[in-house]
Amino acid sequence: MAKKTTSKSMQAKEIKPVQAEIPLPANIPNLPPEVEQKLKAIKDKLDQFKTKVVDKFGDYIVGIALLPPEKMQKDAASPENPEAEKKEDPDKIHVLVVIDDTTSQKMTKDELYNKLSSVIKQIGEEVDKNIATQCALLTDIWQNCYDAKYDLNRLISMSAPLHDTGMMAAIKIAEIHKSMVIKKFEKYILSYVLAGSLTQGRATPTSDIDVWIVIDDTDVKKMSRIELKDKLRAIIIGMGAEAGEMTGIKNKLNIQVYILTDFWDSLKEANPIIFTLLRDGVPFYDRGIFMPWKQLLRMGRIKPSREAIDLFMSTGEQSISRVKMRLKEMGMEDTYYAILTPSQAAIMLYGLPPPTPRETPEVLEEIFVKKEKMLEPEYVKILRNNVDLRKKIEHGEKKELSGTELDRLITDAEKFLKRIRELFTEIEATHDQQSIAH
């Protein structure tokens, strides 16, 4: 029953929990002794429960979290629910266990849930009769989001993690950030989507948290679409940093902001990033934009146009052409000036005006090789070869430059620069001797 082997989606044996245990609020001053004792007792019980559950089920467990009191749960789920006013049991310890059912092959989803939830409940009762466990399948959490039911997400955002493979932290910070964004810009926000490795079943405690926000720009009158995007994007990213500070979650929150018209254009152009987002993304908020597109993609109704296919086909050849052009530029410009200008600097330090690029190898050889005997001929040869190569590329005599040739140019340039630095020291020493003699 226990899933001790490593699954494809959660490599639990290599994963350390984001927060192995719930911290005591030791920084709160003047706590009565009985309160401190009660907190410590709860912590010890929760640690026991967490350890037993994780040891029993291994990488089936996505996360374990201490939920807020029952009244807060009811308020979060249904703010106007009169039952929320009922008296709650103050001794109850509400715990949520999230189960990964994405890789289960030996049993159905319902069988997995029933077996694990019953054993987890039993473990909770054995540790303390007041531990009230609530289990949720990861696919059910996502399905709730597809159905625009976000109650469980809100509870997780108010919970304290006991064990986390990365998913609980992502849901927590994304839910809080989403609430901040919608409260500020509800008129413009069409969709808020969690995406990336987290929704692809590759979450780790250090995974970046990727969220996508689609902004409605179809009714913008007071500013341009680009101004709207830039203005909202800056504020939304700032809110992301604020959400990180509020939650204490250190994982990087990657926020991508799209205006609706750009998103639609990318969809028509068959942008692979947008297709991946629609396929794997989970909406934490949607006003009827994201989910219809996601369903259409599942049905095979969103297909790239012939123009998009031709564009993607030509992209490969264009990329190779750019690489070749860049290689030529690096050989013709970068490595060329990397050794030419220091050579001219050495001549200037010697006391002569800088020669033209074409004359530099000859002047360098005449002064430092033949006259002063301070430089070996091989370094003049490196400079001369580079000048000749640039001339051939510039005049079209050499059409392409290979990566091997560029590697050799870089190696020679590094060797040349090292020797020129030594030459500088020798020139300065010679000047000092002349000054002393004078």
- Structure-block tokens of residue 3: 């899933």
In this prediction, what percent of the chain has a pLDDT beyond 70? 85
- Structure-block tokens of residue 128: 């303390």
pLDDT digits (tens, 9 = 90+) for 296-352: 888 877 776 666 667 667 778 888 888 888 888 887 788 889 999 999 999 999 999
Q: Residue 5, Cα to own-chain centre: how many angstroms? A: 28
CA distance 96 to 346: 72
Whether residue 390 has pLDDT greater than 70: yes
Q: Report yes or no: 167 and 101 within 8 Å, Cβ to Cβ.
A: no
Residue that the structure tokens 């039952």 belong to? 83
Q: What is the DSSP letter of 32?
A: -
- If we measure between CA atoms, which residue out of 174, 140, 181 comes closest to residue 156? 174
- Structure-block tokens of residue 141: 């959490």
What pLDDT score does 274 carry? 86
> What's phi and psi for 116, nearest 5 deg?
-70, -40
> What's phi and psi for 198, nearest 5 deg?
-65, -45
Whether residue 198 has pLDDT greater than 80: yes
What pLDDT score does 436 carry? 82
CA distance 271 to 117: 41
- Pairing type for strands 61-66 and 160-164 reads antiparallel
Of residues 178 and 297, more confidence is placed in: 178
- If we measure between CA atoms, which residue out of 192, 183, 150 comes closest to residue 291? 192
CA distance 243 to 208: 14
- If we measure between CA atoms, which residue out of 271, 269, 257, 254 comes closest to residue 215? 257
Whether residue 10 has pLDDT greater than 50: no
pLDDT digits (tens, 9 = 90+) for 407-428: 999 999 999 999 999 999 999 8
**Average pLDDT across the chain, whole number:** 84
* Gyration radius (Cα) of the chain, Å: 33
pLDDT digits (tens, 9 = 90+) for 19-31: 433 443 333 344 4
Angle (deg, nearest 10), helices 403-437 and 377-394: 130
